[in-house]
Amino acid sequence: MPSLPKKDTPRPWVAKVQHERKNPQEREYWTHKWRKARAAFLGMHPTCAHCTRLATVVDHITPVREGGAFYELDNWQALCTSCHAKKSGREGWLARHADKEE
């Protein structure tokens, strides 16, 4: 009996390894310690700090790459995916344009 061709999709652990190679400074996000802390924080702060929708992301208020503490609770805020994307986009835009002004 004929069968459908198998899809060539990457396995989850392969994607994780590729992500770690691309972003070695972000390896901490893949640790059990971070996932456990993130889940606990979202349990205590279930709504977005900006729009009050359901929070799905723990955001570092001061980005770690700019000197923010990774595990400092005062540097965390719960955000929905949309608000986090907007905040990250603004930060990226500001970082790119700050380099041009100097």
| Complete domains list, the chain, with CATH | 32-101 (3.40.1800)
pTM: 0.72
What is the 8-class DSSP label of residue 72?
-
Q: Which residues contact 75 (CB under 8 A, 6 or more apart)?
A: 60, 61, 62, 68, 69
CA pair distance 85, 83, nearest whole angstrom: 5
Amino acid at 83: C
CA pair distance 45, 54, nearest whole angstrom: 9
**pLDDT tens track of the chain, all 102 residues?**
666 666 665 565 555 555 555 566 678 888 999 999 999 999 999 999 999 999 999 999 999 888 999 999 999 999 999 999 999 999 989 988 886 665
